[in-house]
Amino acid sequence: MRETVFLAKKIIIFGKEFTVHLDTIGFTIFACLFIFILCIWLKRKLQFIPTRKQLVLEVLLEWFDDVLRESLGKRGRLFLGFIVTLFLFILVSNWLGLIPGFLSPTRDLNVCLGLALLVLVVAHINAIKVKGLKQYLKSYFEPYWWLFASNVFAEISKTLSHSFRLFGNIFAGGIAVAVIFQLCALLKAWGILPAVLIGFPIKAFLGFFMAGIQAFVFTILAVSYISVLAQQYS
C-alpha cells in the first residue's frame, strides 16, 4: 500500500544496522520549518486591534491556556508553548499528506512514538519537580513493593497507546480515502455519478477535519497525562 512505503536507507552505527526513513525525516524538517516561518510571520503581523488571523490565533492560545490552567493550575502556563507546538506540528504533519507529492510524517509509527515519548519525558520531569525525586520513585512501589514491575509497565503502556492511537487514526484515514476513491472509480465506470462529486469533498473532509480532530485528541491526551501524573504526587 502506498501509505506504508518509505524511502529507506540502512546505516551502521557502532556495528549495528539501522533503517532510516529519509522521506519521514525530510517532511518532518519541512513541517518544523513551516511552523517556524509561520510563527515569525504571525509575530510581525501583530496589531493592537487584532485582525481576523490574529483573532483566531489569540482564541487558540487562550483556549489552550484555559485548559492547562484548569488541569495544572498555576503551572499550566509553563506548558503552553510545548502543547501549542505539539498541536501545530501534528496538524501540519497531517495536512501535508493532502498535498500531491507530499507525505505525512505522522503516517510513520516512529514519529508517533517519538511524540509520545516526548510527552512521557515532559510529564515525568514535571512530576519530579512537583514533589521531588524521592516521592516520585516511592510511588512505583505503592501500594505494595511487589507491584513495582506492574507500575512501570503501566507507564510504558500509556506511551504505547498514545502513539498507536495517532498512528492508527492516520492509517485508518488513509485506508478510508483509498476505499472511497476506488468506489468513486467504479461509479464513474458504471456512469452512475461523476467521481469528482463524491471523491474530492470526502477527501477534503477526512483530510482537513479529521486531521484536526486527531491533532486535538493527541494534544488533550498529553495535557491529561501530564496533569494526572502530577496529581499523583501533590
pLDDT of residue 163: 83
pLDDT tens, residue by residue, 169-226: 777 766 776 677 677 777 667 666 555 555 566 666 767 788 888 888 899 989 988 8
pLDDT tens, residue by residue, 23-45: 888 899 999 999 999 888 877 77
In a domain, 36, yes or no: no
In a domain, 2, yes or no: no
In a domain, 22, yes or no: no
In a domain, 13, yes or no: no
Segment 82-91 mean pLDDT:
93
pLDDT of residue 89: 94
In a domain, 28, yes or no: no
Q: Is the pLDDT of residue 87 over 80?
A: yes
Cell representation of residue 186? 467504479
Instruction: Assess contact for 111 and 93: CB atoms under 8 A.
Output: yes
In a domain, 109, yes or no: yes
Which has the higher per-residue pLDDT, 41 or 115?
115
pLDDT of residue 10: 65
pLDDT tens, residue by residue, 155-171: 888 888 888 888 877 77
DSSP assignment of 29-84 = HHHHHHHHHHHHHHHHT--SS--HHHHHHHHHHHHHHHHHHHHHGGGGGGGHHHHH
pLDDT of residue 191: 65
pLDDT of residue 33: 95
Q: Is the pLDDT of residue 47 over 80?
A: no
Q: Is the pLDDT of residue 127 over 80?
A: yes
Q: How confident is the model at residue 229 (pLDDT cuts 50, 70, 90)?
A: confident
DSSP state of 140: G
Instruction: Assess contact for 104 and 93: CB atoms under 8 A.
Output: yes
Please say whether the dihedral angle defined by the alpha carbons of residues 69, 34, 119 and 205, taken in this order, is positive or negative.
Answer: positive
In a domain, 136, yes or no: yes
For residues 18 and 8, give the distance between their C-alpha atoms in angstroms, rounded to a whole number: 10
In a domain, 162, yes or no: yes
The residue range of the domain holding 173 is 57-231
| Number of domains the chain is built from | 1
pTM comes to 0.81
